[in-house]
Amino acid sequence: MNATAFLWLVGLPLLASPVVYVLGRLGANQDPEARCPALARWLTVLTLLATWIPFALAAQAVAEKGKVTFNIEAIGLTLDGVSLVLAATVLAVGTGVALHSVTYMAGEVGEEKYYAMLLAMIGVMIGLGCANGLFNLWVWFEAMSVSSYLLVAFYREQPASLEAGMKYLVQSALGSALVLSHVGYMLLGLGISFQVGQSAGAQGAFFHLFNHGLMKGLAFLAAGALLYALHLAVGSQAPLMIQELNGAAKRYPMPALALSVAVLALGGLPPLAGFMSKWQIFVAGFTTHNALIASLVIFAALNSVLSLAYYAPLVNAVYRKEPSAAVTRGAVVPDSMVLPLTVLTALIVVLGLWPSLLNWLTEPAGAALVAALRG
């Protein structure tokens, strides 16, 4: 049962991906306008919601046994505390993206392809986190690169989209050659554990990995909601400029709040989740009583403070008194976009106030890493 739950955790999004595409294309060969994107749309949402069930069962198995393994010929997967954090992050952000896309992608040409690739990428990223060998890791990484490239270059008729896709492909090729999902604060926490053999630094790193997924995902979804309201919904394909966000909080309080919480959490403002995970890493570093580690922690803390100055103008813009012309003539943000923004914003605030709520996920991950080092 444990291995079955693990298999469905990885396999359900992957198996649903071609089904979503086929159902979305029903009737398209005879009449291009006869596509059924609504089927693709809602099957994707239901699939991701259903994937939380095997995730919960697999998490219970990890809590009881420490890890769960699954092998088919040369394909080997291991779900432990580390990969459980990655799976939770991917599922949380992926579910939010799917809900956000219900309206954002509605009516787009090739909408069924988008949802099929989204499911494929989510399944592949979960598998990537569970790969238990270098070759398996490389295969999953390449599959992730292909699916994510197709999403980045989805608007293939737009030069900017193709340019972004080409840049992403080059960066992914370099990344697959070096195999290095560099994130400074996470590496600092992991480095502390590598150096002194304690799990607190790794626990903070995995906590920050989860938080980073929430914060960066929320920032993109909030920006996407504002882009939809200010441009796409009114028939404009122009890019969203910062000055167009002036006064956005008056007409769009939830997207403005979500964007503000996301960037301030990324900047490490207490008591948001981004601050608490960084704080765990910093405390772990100081408790080592190592001068070099302490200096690195101080440098990282100063960098976090400076990053707030980078994000502050964006927050200041959305809360200005006079709304921009784009805000004045903008459309309403649909509920399907507001819902994931509300949930992710609440998670960032709650995990900042009560970081121990995620200990069930991050403690096993830190312990698994230290155990692997000692082994």
- pLDDT tens for the chain, 375 residues long, are 566 888 888 889 999 998 988 888 775 554 555 566 788 888 999 999 999 999 999 888 888 888 888 776 667 788 888 889 999 999 999 999 999 988 888 877 778 888 988 999 899 989 888 887 666 776 777 777 677 666 665 555 555 444 444 444 445 544 444 434 636 788 888 888 888 878 888 999 999 999 999 998 999 899 989 989 998 888 887 878 888 889 999 999 999 999 999 999 988 898 999 999 999 999 999 988 888 888 888 888 888 877 777 788 888 889 988 888 999 999 999 999 999 999 999 999 999 999 999 999 999 888 888 887 766
* 329 and 251 assigned to the same domain: yes
- For residue 369, the model assigns a pLDDT of 81
DSSP H helical ranges for the chain: 2-24, 37-65, 81-104, 111-130, 134-152, 159-178, 184-196, 199-230, 248-251, 253-266, 273-286, 291-318, 325-329, 335-353, 359-374
Positions of E strands within the chain: 67-72, 75-80
Return phi, psi of residue 246, to 5°: -55, 125
Cβ burial, residue 38 (10 Å; 0-12/13-18/19+): middle
Range of the domain at 230: 184-374
* 149 and 250 assigned to the same domain: no
- For residue 236, the model assigns a pLDDT of 80
* 101 and 226 assigned to the same domain: no
At which of 178, 211, 242 does a domain end? 178
**Number of folded domains that form the chain:** 2
* 255 and 165 assigned to the same domain: no
* 211 and 150 assigned to the same domain: no
Partners of 67 in the β-ladder: 80
The C-alpha atoms of residue 315 and residue 259 are separated, in whole angstroms, by: 8
Q: How many Cβ atoms are within 10 Å of 238's Cβ, its own excluded?
A: 11
pTM over 0.85: no
Structure tokens at 229: 């309201």
Q: Running DSSP on this structure, what letter comes out for residue 332? A: P
* 30 and 71 assigned to the same domain: yes
Return phi, psi of residue 64, to 5°: -85, -40
- For residue 50, the model assigns a pLDDT of 95
- For residue 276, the model assigns a pLDDT of 94
* 269 and 122 assigned to the same domain: no
* 346 and 197 assigned to the same domain: yes
* 221 and 100 assigned to the same domain: no
At which of 134, 150, 178 does a domain end? 178
* 150 and 188 assigned to the same domain: no
To which residue do tokens 């949930």 refer? 343
Structure tokens at 255: 């997207």
Which helix (DSSP H) or strand (DSSP E) does residue 24 occupy? helix 2-24
- For residue 306, the model assigns a pLDDT of 78
At which of 132, 154, 178 does a domain end? 178
The C-alpha atoms of residue 131 and residue 285 are separated, in whole angstroms, by: 29
* 311 and 212 assigned to the same domain: yes
* 28 and 166 assigned to the same domain: yes
Cβ burial, residue 74 (10 Å; 0-12/13-18/19+): exposed
